[in-house]
Structure formats: structure tokens, C-alpha cells
Amino acid sequence: MADLEEKEQSKVKCNQIASKKVKIRKTSKLPRGFKLSGIKANIKYKNRFDLALIYSKVPATGAGVWTKNSMQAACILYNKATIKNKIHAVMINSGYANACTSIQGDKNCILCAKSLGDGLLVPSESILLASTGVIGEQLPMERILKGIPKLIHNRNNAKDSIKQASKAIMTTDTYPKTYGVKFWLESADILENLSNNKNPKPQDTKNENITTKTHKDSLQENTRDDTESSKDSQKEKVVKSKKDSQKINARIWGMAKGSGMIHPNMATMLGFILTDVAITQNLLQEALSEIVQQSFNQISVDGDTSTNDMVIILANGKAGNKEITQKNKDYETFRDSLKLVCVNLAKKIARDGEGATHLLEVVVKNAKTLEQAQRLSKAVIGSNLVKTAIFGKDANWGRIICAMGYSEAEFDSKKLDLYFESKKGKIKIVHDGIGLKFNENKARTILGADKVRIVINLNDGIQNAKAWGCDLSYGYIKINADYRS
């Protein structure tokens, strides 16, 4: 039965999931060792957060997934050449995309990384960059460079810093998009970990005489964070199961931006995922690539794919788990937790589509293969005719069948069942490939809900897939007609 068996996870109070007997809970806390900041640098508009920093106290392992648009922004090319280094920080600006900016755009990336690295006292090769906004214009470097000292000074793990950073990466978004979870991993090194954290020592400050006051303040903040992390270790980091085995608490947290130019294979979408799990670069990349395919690559707003799309994940190992080096139980727990974060961020992006009035979810069930299910769901979610029908609350199921037909995914139309669902009810529209007589008023009421689900049961296998998008309204045209003004 294709009822609403998977309730919106973000609305479940405790937001607990049992993933192979491992509980995953929602949390607003950053993973250990990370700090954020966001400032108003007046990059394109005045009095608007537009420059953000992600900082890891210790070098982090990085992985990334990048836009498939052949016209790639300077920051994409820079990050591709940098991502396999150990990473200390990511700087993100909104307002200008630094795309189609030729050699000067590349030089600006190098200058941004050097200036931030100098301020943080870390190598410039440990800096990643991201930009979003208008294509074809150079970054206002004077304003960005002027803002870097404040960006560094303001970095923190407090709620205000998280809010300001998530606002600073927005363009036409109407609200910040963040999501985090905590979970438990096995850890053979737990006793040693406890011993190392029992009496935290202040960070070595022998070089303080060559730092500015800003950096002294930062060192003091780092020391306080060590103490807070130690308290976390005593209260939350380690738990003892009934079987007397030791487990360690870890976190994954992410923020994203995206509202328009959203289409499968990502779009004007930036995603930044942080975790304190210790994991090899190869497995981190494999997990990210797999989960992006099931989350961010399954959303569509308007069919456009941007020059600047990226999803970056940083793993700094501060949780204290034994490094994940193979696909064991810890890897599965990590992957499942990462999927929960990415899916929730993807759904928030889809719901915030430019001018959107409905969040649309397309579920393809009982397909022969996962690829078939994904291809069909993406075709339906990407159809502008389907989107406009949802906006008009019109149960025009022929548009759905049409989109499935041009998806190039083979399926047996004679086995197909189709439903519309929402919190206002459920109605079956097609059975065994044949349209049914249905109550138009009831269908209109169902399609009037904020969140609408189209369920397509192929009755031909066991594979399932979901895609997310929104309706296409008059508001989308207005926003994009005025974008550069």
C-alpha cells in the first residue's frame, strides 16, 4: 500500500530511525572540531550575509561531487585540484558565481585561498572555495579580502554562527537549509580515546608572539572548545551497551543552498557536509557519490543545471572512532546517516523552489532495477507540464504517463498503478495501465496540500526510488525575470 508510510522525518519529534539496530537521532550540534561564521561583506548587496567560513581545527579528509555542466566555475576547477589534500577550511561567497571569468577568475581563487590560509595560519592548499550568484562577473576582491579577518575572528560553534553561515550562502533562497544527526559507532580505540581526553591540555601557544590579537583570541577559543569536547566525551561521546561493548558517538551535519536552476545532476546547489567520523578518503568519496545519486541528484525545480554545483564533505576524525577502512558495520551506519542528512537537505531545496507553492515527491515502486526506478522518477519530477498541473491542482495523469514514456526507461504499462496522496487523503487514478473514473473534487482537495506525493507502482520487481521537486508557478517567472536587478 502506497500510503504515507514514511512520514516527514523532519517532523518526527525525536526523529529516531532504526538502521540495522543503530539509532540515528536528529541534532543541531556541529560535529566536534568544526566552527562556522558568516558576515556581511557587501559583495553584491548591502546589509546582507554573503561570506561564510567552514573551519576544522584539525586537518580533515575531503571528498566532493561536482556539476556535470561543461562550463565549470573557477572554484569548481580549483577544488577538483585541491580536494585530495588535507582540508582546514572552506570559504563561500554569494552574489557572484566566478563562472565564465577566464584567467582572472582562476587568479582570484588562488588569492582568496592564500589570504584565508595566511589568516588561519594554515597552508593555502588546505582551503576550498565556493561561489554562487550572477555568472560572468569578476569577484569584488577588495570587499572579500577586507572581510576575511572578521570572518576568521567570528568563527564559532554557537547557534548564531551556524545561522549566519547558512544565510551567507543563500541567493534566491527564502530560508536557510541545515540538518544534522548523531549516531553510534563501534570503536576498538575507545579506552585510549578516553585517556587522551580526560585532562585536556591547552593548545601549544609557543608561537603566540607572532600572531595578531585575533589569532590569540582564536587560540583561546580552541582551548575552550577542547574543554567542551571533553565534557561531551564524558556525557555523550561514549556509551556502554547491555552487552558491555563500547560504542562512540559521532555526528554528521550539513547546510545547503538552492532554489532555482535545480535539476537532476544537481544545479545551482551548494552542499557542505561535516562529520567528526574518521574514515579513509576513498570510502568517504564512495559514500558521498552513492548518496548524492539518491538525494541531490533526485531533485528538480526548473530543468536547468548550473556551472557551480558542488557537494563537499569533510571528515576530521574528532569523534575518536577507529578509522573506517572497509565496508563494515560502521561504514553502513555512517552511510545511512549521511543519506538521512542529504535526503532532508534535498527535500528542503525542492520545497524552496523559486515561487513554489507545493513540495512534490514522486515515488516509483516495485521496479525491475534501481536505475529504472530512478530514471522514471526523475523524468516525472522534471516535467514542467506535471509541475504546472500540480500548481493548478489538476489531476492530469496523462502528463505523468507521458513523462515516463520519454524517460527511455522500459516498463510494462499494462501493470502500472498510479495514485495521488497527501495529508488530505489518497486517490487511485490508474489501475493496470487503465485510467479509472475518480472524484475530481476529491483529487483537487488532495492536490491542494502543501506536500503532494505521486506514487507509481510498476508491479514488476522490488526496487524503489524517490525524486523531489515543486510546482511551477507565476512566482518563478517573476523571480527569474528580475534576477540581475
Could you tell me the domains of the chain?
15-187+245-351 (3.60.70.12), 359-481 (3.10.20.340)
Greatest CA separation for the chain: 80
Instruction: Name the amino acid, one letter, at 107.
Output: K
Q: What SS3 class is residue 451?
A: strand
- Summarised one tens digit per residue, pLDDT across range 174-191 is 889 999 999 999 864 544
56 annotated ligand binder? no
98 annotated ligand binder? no
Transcribe 74-116 into DSSP letters: HHHHHHHTTTTS-EEEEEEEEEE---S-HHHHHHHHHHHHHHH
CA quadruple 272, 277, 278, 282: dihedral sign: negative
354 annotated ligand binder? yes
Q: Where in the sequence numbering do the catalytic residues fall? A: 268
**Terminal-residue alpha carbon distance, the chain:** 49
Residues 6 or more apart in contact with residue 471 via CB below 8 angstroms: 353, 356, 357, 358, 360, 387, 388, 390, 391
**Tens place of pLDDT for every residue, the chain, 485 residues?**
334 444 444 443 344 443 445 789 999 999 999 999 999 999 999 999 999 999 999 999 999 999 888 788 999 999 999 999 999 999 999 999 999 999 999 999 999 999 999 999 999 999 999 999 888 999 999 999 999 999 999 999 999 999 999 999 998 788 899 999 999 998 645 443 544 454 444 444 333 333 333 434 444 444 444 444 445 444 555 555 444 357 899 999 999 998 644 444 434 589 999 999 999 999 999 999 999 999 988 887 544 556 788 999 999 999 999 999 999 999 999 999 999 999 999 989 887 766 667 889 999 999 999 999 999 999 999 898 999 899 899 999 999 999 999 999 999 999 999 999 999 999 999 999 999 999 999 999 999 999 999 999 999 999 999 999 888 776 666 666 665 55
388 annotated ligand binder? no
Q: What SS3 class is residue 477?
A: helix
